[in-house]
Chain A
Amino acid sequence: MTAVESGGTAGPAPVVKRARSPLLERFLDERLAVAAGLFLLLVVVVAVLAPVLAPTDPSEQDLVNSFQSPSSAHWLGTDELGRDLFSRFLYGARTSLLAALEAVAIALLIGLPLGLLAGYLGGLVDTVLSRVNDAVMSAPALVLAIAVVAVLGPGLTNAMLAIGIVFAPSLFRIVRGATLQVRAETYIEASRAIGCTPVRIMTRHVLRNIVPPVIAQVTILLGVSMLAEASLSFLGLGVRPPEASWGSMLREAFDQIYSVQYLVWAPGIAIGLTVLAFSQLGDGIRSALSAGRRRS
């Protein structure tokens, strides 16, 4: 039995390897997506190195120097409490990025196993899961996320949990669709014939072969989650002060909008560019995938 099983796992592995490198080549043809990827790499580096790059502590107050316009000492100026906005901006990158990762991880944790089950088992399981999925998708995402935050209480972790739950259905759909396709392949039939258990087929064979479309969707969701984090933090339901995220910095800018206006620019542009980069990267991966399918 063990011998048969290990034979089953060795089967599809080389298929994945052979499929991967032309995919990478096609992806590299998508110039915009590559540029987006490089930009995101920069954002990640900034986020990781924030403690090294930041000139001051992001929460350090200097009330004498409040509301300073951008200068050589304070690249982005200071806020009402005299905090250095450039430092807050760098740390904000960290919070926003981590928040997006957290939300997408939760969406994956929910959407991936359920999508696999629905797609592989079909029948009643699929019908029930798909109906519930449709129901969640029909409710306004932001309102639903706010309702979840209402129940769990405000705070970044809870906000990202809420966003993860709300975005899980979109992953469920992708995983279920891809699983349906893979399920019809001969190697799945073969695994079944040699006696692999459904759990083993799902985790060892189906999962490996649905990775590319899932990666494309995850990339796009990272951008969407970052936008959602910004919205919730802007409403005061996400990041708690004094911690900074790009969304909460925009809230602080909004509260001061009648006295100073330069606070609005950096976080908003940063969110826009990063979200744009995530969606271009996701589109690039997706079109590299569909180009591959057309050719084969």
Chain B
Amino acid sequence: MRILARFLVAVPLLFVVVSFGVFALVGLAPGDPAVELAGQDATAEDVGRVRAELGLDRPLLERYVSWLGDAVTGDLGTSLARRQDVTELVVSRIPPTVSLALFALVLAMLASAVLGTLAALRQGSMLDRGVALFSAAGIALPQFWVGLLLVIVFALNLGWLPATGYVPFSESPGEWFSHLVLPAIALAWLPAAELTRHVRSATAEVLERDYVLTARAKGLLTPQIVLKHTVRNAGIPVVTVLGTRIAQLLGGTVVIETVFGIRGLGSLTVDSVLARDMPVILGVVAFATAVVLVINFLVDLSYGVIDPRAARA
């Protein structure tokens, strides 16, 4: 019950705070979009007309309330630069970005689960040190630079995979896959490095517990212990970290989409910023914030699934 209340109150409240913040920033920005849109030869009357058309003659709070009212019903306004419906524009850019983000998430989880568990099982070994080095490098190297190196090696020199573009899954699953491999690896790099650290420390902690000792005494083999005990118990701290990394992953798509020429939400954001297309920027930020808030909420819910005790608490 408390969880439901949180979903109905806290999530919308946070959404309003963030969207109003961005809205106010846009409203206070130097430069008048009406003047820019009306063109160079526009008279003061023309500018006034455009301003009224855009609703810019009304006070900020009033404009925000009407924007929010429309946004809730799925209407994000019209793009200034493209003269296109923002909701349509955003929706059309979702599939590439979601494909990329999910692909990267799966890669990051697999890599970190394997590397983190192995490192925890062989603490202090060469393998452990190698994994630590990988994590440190993964956190420090710019993701887009990793992307550039992947393009140079696998696309330009070896010619194994395409360097740019995106093919919808419905068109050709094989092409979809081959176009996403390199960008997904580049995007997964950072979350994989961070998650590996967390998996290692969470698993190392669980391995010292009495029930693991009992399991060993019973004669269970290491793989059985890992599967039965550590995965579930080390899961909670790892899922928490995972939740906070979703936002970062979405942010990462911005640069990665630019490197690999993928026309998704990230490249839409950059293009709109360079064109100062405020309705689109507002729409993308609002959409991204809503997605992140809902995901954070789902992460909270998942504690109960992984550890029933957390649900009762």
List residues of chain A with CB under 8 Å of any chain B CB: 131-132, 134-136, 138-144, 146-154, 223, 227, 230-231, 234-237, 247, 250, 253-254, 257-258, 261, 264, 268, 271-273, 275-276, 279-280
- 3 tightest A-B CB contacts, nearest first: A142-B251, A276-B140, A140-B251
> B288 and A140: CB pair below 8 A?
yes
The residue among A140, A235, A254, A268 with the most chain B CB atoms within 10 A of its own CB is: A140
Given contacts A151-B26, A154-B274, contact A134 B269 (CB under 8 A): no
Given contacts A134-B14, A150-B281, A268-B148, contact A141 B142 (CB under 8 A): no
> A138 and B144: CB pair below 8 A?
no
> B156 and A261: CB pair below 8 A?
yes
The secondary-structure label for the interface of chain B is helix
> B248 and A257: CB pair below 8 A?
no
The residue among B13, B22, B148, B259 with the most chain A CB atoms within 10 A of its own CB is: B148
Known: A152-B30, A264-B149. 17 other contacts (CB 8 A): A136-B18, A138-B247, A140-B248, A140-B250, A143-B251, A143-B254, A143-B269, A146-B273, A149-B273, A150-B272, A150-B273, A151-B26, A151-B28, A154-B273, A230-B144, A235-B270, A254-B148
Report B142-168 CB contacts with A as 1/0, cut-off 8 Å: 111100110110001000000000000
CA distance A253 to B36 in the complex (A): 33
> B25 and A141: CB pair below 8 A?
no
Point out the residues of chain B lying under 8 angstroms from A250, CB to CB: 142, 144-145, 148
> A138 and B255: CB pair below 8 A?
no
| CB proximity of A91 to chain B, nearest CB, Å | 19
CA distance A248 to B21 in the complex (A): 29
> Could you name 6 residue pairs across A and B whose Cβ atoms are closer than 8 Å?
A139-B288, A146-B281, A230-B142, A234-B255, A264-B148, A271-B141
Question: For residue B254, which residue of chain A has the nearest CB?
Answer: A142
Choice from B142, B148, B296 contacting A257 with Cβ under 8 Å: B148
> A235 and B142: CB pair below 8 A?
no
Question: For residue B252, which residue of chain A has the nearest CB?
Answer: A142
Given contacts A138-B247, A257-B151, contact A152 B29 (CB under 8 A): yes
Point out the residues of chain A lying under 8 angstroms from B292, CB to CB: 138-140
Query: B221 at interface (Cβ–Cβ under 8 A)?
Result: no
Given contacts A141-B247, A142-B252, A234-B144, contact A131 B29 (CB under 8 A): no
Point out the residues of chain A lying under 8 angstroms from B251, CB to CB: 140-143
CA distance A151 to B281 in the complex (A): 10
Interface residues of B in 5-62 (CB under 8 A from A): 13-14, 17-18, 21-22, 25-26, 28-31
